[in-house]
Amino acid sequence: MSFSISLAVNGVARNVELDDPRVTLLDLLRERLDLPGTKKGCDRGQCGACTILVDGRRINACLALAVSHDGAAITTIEGLAHGDELHPVQAAFIAHDGFQCGFCTPGQIMSAVGLIGEGQAGDDPERIREGMSGNLCRCAAYAGITEAVLEAQRRLAAPEREKAA
């Protein structure tokens, strides 16, 4: 039995045939759609390396069945930048050395984008650390990650404050 699903992945409509209803979004993205930025870490939803946005909300792609997200809008690390212009979170991670080996970085960045988009980041480092606690970094780049999220939150909030004024 085959299943057909439609997704908007990084703004591009994709129709996918699945032979197995147990295919995760992680495997679909990496193996079928050639989007290797989403990493397979623990494959148990404990490390956050596979964090993506589905309809603007953070999820662990390793725990999500692709068939259950038919019609969803999915954003991966490959879909954040606009051409050569990095997303403010990506730029802040570079500026604050929020990565070391780089393996967890895509999931960390996607989680930060989601945290800010959900209005959960604020300007409190402890709140950010709590909000990012589902993403693990073996290199312990947490201080740089927190600073990057704070900077990106300020940069992304500035245009909103200007519109309100």
What CATH code is carried by the domain that includes residue 11? 3.10.20.30
Do 12 and 71 lie in one domain? The reply is yes
Q: What is the mean pLDDT of residues 1-30?
A: 96
Q: What is the mean pLDDT of residues 59-64?
A: 97
Q: What is the mean pLDDT of the chain?
A: 92
Contact residues for 119 (Cβ-Cβ < 8 A; gap 6+): none
Instruction: State how far the Cα of 98 lies from the Cα of 37, in Å rounded to an integer.
Output: 17
Q: φ and ψ at 125, to 5 degrees?
A: -55, -35
% of the chain exceeding 70 in pLDDT: 96
Q: Is residue 60 predicted with pLDDT exceeding 80?
A: yes
What total number of domains does the chain contain?
2
Q: What is the pLDDT of residues 70-109, one digit of tens each?
A: 999 999 999 999 999 999 999 999 999 887 888 889 999 9
Q: What single DSSP character describes residue 39?
A: -
Residue 100: which CATH number? Answer: 1.10.150.120
